[in-house]
Amino acid sequence: MEKYNCKITGKKIKKIINFGKMPIANGFLKKKDFKKEFFFDLTVLFSEELSLLQLNDHPKPRMMFNSKYPFYTSSSESMKLHFKEYANWAKKKFLKKNKSKIIEIGSNDGTFLNNFRTKDIEHLGFEPSKNVSDLARKRGINSIHEFFSRDSLSKAERFIGTTDIIFGANVVCHIPNLIEFIKTADKLLNDNGKIIFEEPYLGSMYKKTSYDQIYDEHIFIFSVTAISKIFNLFDFQIIDAIPQITHGGSMRYIIERKKKRNYNNKIKKIFEIERREKINSLEGALNFKKNCELSKEKLLDKLTKIKKQGHKICGYGATSKSTTILNYCNIGPDIIDCIFDTTPDKIGKFSPGKHIPIVDYKNFTKQFYDYAFLFAWNHKKEIEKKEKNYLKKGGKWITHL
């Protein structure tokens, strides 16, 4: 029997669910590359000691984050607004002094850092995906094309021991070696420095059975309990956690160097909720597994019925998340004709694994589809507003949720 180990403690932990063979979630590809497509085994584990849901195997970071990373933060107007508000909140709460230094990891196309371009704030972005890092630089952002790691500290000498805040969004869960991440942050932060990051929240994923949050890039799905336990292994402590509606339910964590012995009342209350809702224990993870299997059955039932009635189905939003749904449920171009998307790097290519054509969203209104599978369900409001005529023409939005 295979043994599974926790990525942080190295101790033996339990397997929860195997979603089967998966391609690179953002590996949209051309027909000529179908034969050499890479697959790995998407197995999810749970550490009871750290209350931490995590992947077993995953591709090496360079296979996912390189010069062809096709996700751009600025592809969503509502996320642009969210990042503006995130920045304003941080400025008001933590950056009141004359001169501040901030770092963002996973700064992508510079959408968040763009809000900090004032003469009082010195900023730096760590972004290993060269195409998006270059785009940020073109926009005037100080972005270095590097993974955030001990090895890249030499590129950030001015920030060592002097950084006020290290920010992140949807990136800490992408870092396999969290121990090195925390040690690198420790070197950069000043005595009063903070790490502030927001990531998909385990509680929201359980509630919605949105198992599509699990794919190669998302090595961990965090809860407040897990984050507090991880940082507690070091000289850091969680001081606040603020729920966010973004990406289907996220949590913003605020971490600082350990000062007090106890957690504050707000954090204690969240621990209690996570305990009550079994977000911190094996039971919650096993329940999630059952819900995933049920969800797959229901979705396949629904799609089979629609097809038997002779209806046409397309997809909308070629998300990374869609790769898990399509491959786990074995849904190909015989069921979903094509997926509409706004991203030039995806258009004209095929979806990873199942090879559904990706088509420019401008063509969505040119041919009528009875059903549109909204893979970008986290951007429902924005997309339904943009495509409001679809419902008027009798079209129906569907999701797996």
Q: Which residues bind ligand DWN (CB under 6 A)?
A: 71, 75-76, 170, 217, 317-321, 341-343, 346, 361, 376, 378-379, 382-383, 386
Residue 61: name its binding partner from ligand SAH, ligand DWN, none (Cβ under 5 to 8 Å by kind).
Answer: ligand SAH
d(CA 164, CA 148): 17
Is 201 near ligand SAH (CB under 6 A)? no
Q: Which of 51, 54, 115, 129 binds ligand SAH (CB under 6 A)?
A: 129
Tell me the closest approach of the beta carbon of residue 82 to ligand DWN, in angstroms: 11
Inter-residue contact 41 to 215 (CB < 8 Å): no
Beta-carbon contacts of residue 299 (< 8 Å; ≥ 6 apart): 325, 329, 400
Is 175 near ligand SAH (CB under 6 A)? yes
Residue 386: name its binding partner from ligand SAH, ligand DWN, none (Cβ under 5 to 8 Å by kind).
Answer: ligand DWN
Tell me the closest approach of the beta carbon of residue 108 to ligand SAH, in angstroms: 4
Q: What is the DSSP letter of 96?
A: -
Q: Which of 51, 73, 163, 319 binds ligand SAH (CB under 6 A)?
A: 73
Q: Which of 87, 132, 303, 376 binds ligand SAH (CB under 6 A)?
A: 132
Residue 390: name its binding partner from ligand SAH, ligand DWN, none (Cβ under 5 to 8 Å by kind).
Answer: none
Of residues 101 and 346, the one with the C-beta less far from ligand DWN: 346
Of residues 45 and 383, the one with the C-beta less far from ligand DWN: 383
Tell me the closest approach of the beta carbon of residue 195 to ligand SAH, in angstroms: 13
Q: Among candidates 10, 137, 19, 33, which has minimal Cα distance to 355?
A: 33
Pairing, β 358-360 against β 236-244: unpaired
Query: Among 100-108, 154-162, 185-193, 321-329, which window interacts with ligand SAH (CB under 6 A)?
Result: 100-108
- List binders of ligand SAH among 2-41 (CB under 6 A): none
Distance of CA 195 to the CA centre of its chain: 18
Tell me the closest approach of the beta carbon of residue 243 to ligand DWN, in angstroms: 17
CB atoms within 10 A of CB 168: 26
Is 251 near ligand SAH (CB under 6 A)? no
Quote the tokens at residue 367: 């041919």
Is 71 near ligand SAH (CB under 6 A)? yes
Inter-residue contact 326 to 356 (CB < 8 Å): yes
Inter-residue contact 81 to 102 (CB < 8 Å): no
Strand ranges for 142-291 from DSSP E = 143-144, 163-169, 189-200, 220-221, 236-244, 250-257
Is 61 near ligand SAH (CB under 6 A)? yes
d(CA 199, CA 53): 13
d(CA 170, CA 191): 25
Is 126 near ligand SAH (CB under 6 A)? yes
Residue 132: name its binding partner from ligand SAH, ligand DWN, none (Cβ under 5 to 8 Å by kind).
Answer: ligand SAH
Is 174 near ligand SAH (CB under 6 A)? yes
Inter-residue contact 322 to 351 (CB < 8 Å): yes
Quote the tokens at residue 114: 């763009």
Q: Among candidates 103, 113, 114, which has minimal Cα distance to 163?
A: 103
